[in-house]
Every structure is written in C-alpha cells, then in structure tokens.
Amino acid sequence: MEGMITRKKKIVVIGGGFAGLNFVKHVDLKQYDVTLIDRNNFHCFPPLFYQVASAGLDPASICFPLRRELRKLHSPGLAFNMGEVKRIDVAGKAVYTKEECVGYDILIIAAGTTNNFFNMPQLEKSVYTLKSTSEALRCRNDILDILEKAALEKNHEVQKRMLNFVVIGGGPTGVEIAGAIGEMKRYVLPREYPSIPQDNMSITILEGSDKLLGAMSDQASRQALRDLDSLMVKVRLGTLMKEYDGSTVKLATGENMPARMVIWTAGVTGVPFQIDGTDISPVGRGNRFEVDGYCRVKGLEDVYALGDIALMTADPAWPKGHPQLAQVAIQQGRMVAKNLNAAVNAERDGDTVRLAAFRYKDKGSMATIGRNRAVVDMKRFHLSGFSAWLAWMFVHLISLLGMRNKLTVLINWIWAYFNYSTSLRLLIHPCRYPLRRRWMDD
C-alpha cells in the first residue's frame, strides 16, 4: 500500500569467517538489516595458521578487524556484536550470547568447526591444536619455549626427549605444520641454536590411512612424502594414536612413542549449539546442520547454515557433502545472499521468486611443504615443486583481506626466503605490573 512504511527484515549472522563475511558483503543491505555476531572481533585466515604456529607470520598479518571490514559497506543497518552464541531459540527466533539476546527474522549459521578428539577428552588438555589464531599462537610460544629450554640442556638424551614433535593427521594442515617445523630443524637450528645438534630434534607425522593428503591425487601424496623426507620429517602411515598422557603417545599397536609436543590435526566437528523450540534434531554427521540445496536447515524455518558447519547432500556432484574448504564457504555465502536478495525483490514486486540451487565450483586444492615445495591438484593438471609453490603463494596472497596484510605477508615471505631470520621468533610473555609470581620464581 502506498505510503506504508514496511519494516526491513532482520538477518542475524553467526560467524564472520569465509561464509558469514561473504554473505554480509553480498546481501542487499538496503533491503535487510544485518547483525553479525562473532566470538572474535576479527576475521581470520585459517590456511595460514600453521605459519603463525611456526613463527613464520605474525597473527596480525592473517587477521582483519571485522568492524573495519563492515565499515567499508557504509550501511547504517549493519551492526557487529562481539559474543559467542551458545543457544538458538528457533521458536522465539532469537540467539543468545553471554551478554545479550538478539532477535532475528532470518538466521544464518556460519560458525564453522572446532576440534574433534573422537571421544578422547583427555587430549583436550594435553595436545596442541590449530583451529584458531589463539591456538596457533599458543603452539608458536611453546615451540619457541621448548627450543630455548632445550638449548640449555647439556645431556643429549634429555635434550632429545625435549625435542620430540609428533603431528597427528597427514591432511594438509598436518603436512604443512610438520613441514614448517622441519624447516626450523633444517635451517634455523644450525644458525640460531648451535647447542642443539640437528639429530636431537625429531618430527613425526602419524597418519591412520595409507596415504598423506588423502583428499588429493596419488601424485600429490607421493610428492608430499618425498618433500617431507628432505625436511627430515618421519612419516608413519597406517598408524593410529590411542592415547597421549602429556609425554608418551600410545599407538593402537601397543607401541609407545615419547612426545614432548603433540599437534592434533586429525579431526573437526561442527561448532555445537543448544537448539531450543523444536523437537527435531537439525544436525547430522560431523555435527553439521543438514541443509537442502539452498542451504536451508532441514525442518527449521528461516534458518540457513553455510560453510563448514553445513552438510549438503543435494549437490549431485557431492552426494556425501562438500569438502570443508574455504571456497565452498565463500560460494555458499554468496549464493544464499543472492537468493535472499531475489526473494525480497520478488516479494516487493509481487513476482514469483526463482532461487538458484547451490553447485560447488571446485577450483582445485593445494598444500605446501616448506619453501619451494608445494603440490597443486587442478581439474586438468597437477603441479609440484617451485611452480606449485608460486601458485600456492599467489592464491593465498590474493585471498587475504586487506592490502596491508597482503603487503606484510609478501614482504615477510620474500625476507624469509633470502635470509632465514625473522624477528617473529621473539618470545614475549604477557605480564602485568606488579610482575606475576612466575617471573620471580622462574
């Protein structure tokens, strides 16, 4: 009716990762009010967490403030609220964080995944993980701490025990972090830690299946084995970890392996939520929300799930669901935004809405194993070695948010390529005045 003011629908987005942020950037902010909620006030770039963990990059180079990113969209109806959503009430159409309750007309769940310890809760306390910037930083600080302490140790047997690194999982993250620690052993130890003989440090990948990089080609997998070997990383295929008590890894075979640091990259599970106001359980395999071909959560009204947390089996090429990759999240974010734009326009014009179902455009996959070495699988060709490494660097650089971040990362990589020193190996312990006890006692 002419002259009548209609309220804009409110969309709440949980998670400002690849899926959530791409959704916000493509949804029509003139037609919808949008509130983005994230537990961090920054967007981060998980493919480079392993470089933060191995002191190759500083966290600020791979993170970008969400408020700054949203400001660029110049929309008064767009808000960012920092908070961790724990509860979703689908009957009352509201989400809850510790600080507030936010109502919605349409809910977008794009919270990604967290670590899966496969019913071994004791691992949560003893292993290192790489699912967030904070986890990568913890890993980096403790690697540097271990190296400094080992450098003071005169007894070689004790020194060896202090320098046993075990990586669980031979997927891209496991291969990349093991390769990066291998580079530290090969290039950094002799230059900066002369009191640690190279042979006293050991890095081992344990992989349950019979190949590395299981989702990639056999060629990529074989090349990764060769590259890791040249970085003095041992790989044990068909080997399952059963337990880890903080100093010894127990294998399924009964064998014991000493391990000072275990980095767990073996599994992920959807971020858990308490869902109220419905009798149905919307989550399926991998604790992912089951969605139809348009990312609508099955059985729930006006609720969408995108990215890693969504399980879609309606895409004919991916009947078991899509791989949990950045490109899937980005493409789903854009697709759902476009569909919601089409829906609101059709409603306004009294037309029938024509929605596009999601079809994943696979742009290939890649992993890097130290400098000059990477593997790239594209639909029609495979690359390895230097050319793959250049391709890997290019793709990661253009995918980073913010020109400053792109430039810092590029300069860092060029600098580290020609001389292995980086000031990022500084070990700065947070403290406050008056100094905490540990500083007086240590």
Q: How far is the CB of 167 from ligand FAD (least distance, A)?
A: 12
**Cα–Cα distance measured from residue 424 to residue 378, given in angstroms and rounded to the nearest whole number:** 33
Tell me whether residue 200 or residue 368 sits nearer to ligand FAD (CB atom): 368
Q: Distance of CA 369 to CAs 61, 202, 372, 382, 420, Å? A: 20, 17, 8, 16, 16
**Eight-class DSSP state of 288:** P
Q: How far is the CB of 378 from ligand FAD (least distance, A)?
A: 14
Which residue of this chain has its Cβ atom nearest to ligand FAD in the complex? 17
Q: How far is the CB of 135 from ligand FAD (least distance, A)?
A: 9
In DSSP terms, which residues pair with 11 in a beta bridge? 34, 106
Q: How far is the CB of 320 from ligand FAD (least distance, A)?
A: 16
Tell me whether residue 139 or residue 196 sits nearer to ligand FAD (CB atom): 139
Q: Where are the alpha helices (DSSP H) in 54-113?
A: 59-62, 66-71
CA atoms within 13 A on the CB side of 168: 28
Q: How far is the CB of 169 from ligand FAD (least distance, A)?
A: 10
Q: How far is the CB of 211 from ligand FAD (least distance, A)?
A: 18
Tell me whether residue 50 or residue 193 sits nearer to ligand FAD (CB atom): 50
Tell me whether residue 184 or residue 307 sits nearer to ligand FAD (CB atom): 307
Tell me whether residue 139 or residue 150 sits nearer to ligand FAD (CB atom): 139
Tell me whether residue 49 or residue 304 sits nearer to ligand FAD (CB atom): 49
Q: Give the binding site for ligand FAD (CB under 6 A).
A: 14-20, 37-40, 46-47, 49-50, 84-85, 110-112, 130-131, 172-173, 271, 307-309, 324-327, 329
Tell me whether residue 70 or residue 257 sits nearer to ligand FAD (CB atom): 70
Q: How far is the CB of 274 from ligand FAD (least distance, A)?
A: 11
First-to-last CA distance in the chain?
74
Tell me whether residue 20 or residue 179 sits nearer to ligand FAD (CB atom): 20
Of residues 316, 308, 310, the one with CA closest to residue 283: 310
Q: Annotate 183-204 with three-state secondary structure.
A: HHHHHHHHHHCCCCCHHHCEEE
Amino acid in the structure at residue 206:
L
Cβ atoms of 213 and 170 within 8 Å: the answer is yes
Q: How far is the CB of 47 from ligand FAD (least distance, A)?
A: 3
Q: How far is the CB of 324 from ligand FAD (least distance, A)?
A: 5
In DSSP terms, which residues pair with 42 in a beta bridge? 65
Tell me whether residue 200 or residue 227 sits nearer to ligand FAD (CB atom): 227
Of residues 240, 256, 242, the one with CA closest to residue 122: 242
Radius of gyration over every alpha carbon of the chain, rounded to an integer in angstroms = 24
User: Tokens standing for 244?
Assistant: 């880890």
**Cα–Cα distance measured from residue 411 to residue 83, given in angstroms and rounded to the nearest whole number:** 34
Q: Distance of CA 111 to CAs 89, 131, 270, 281, Å? A: 16, 12, 8, 18
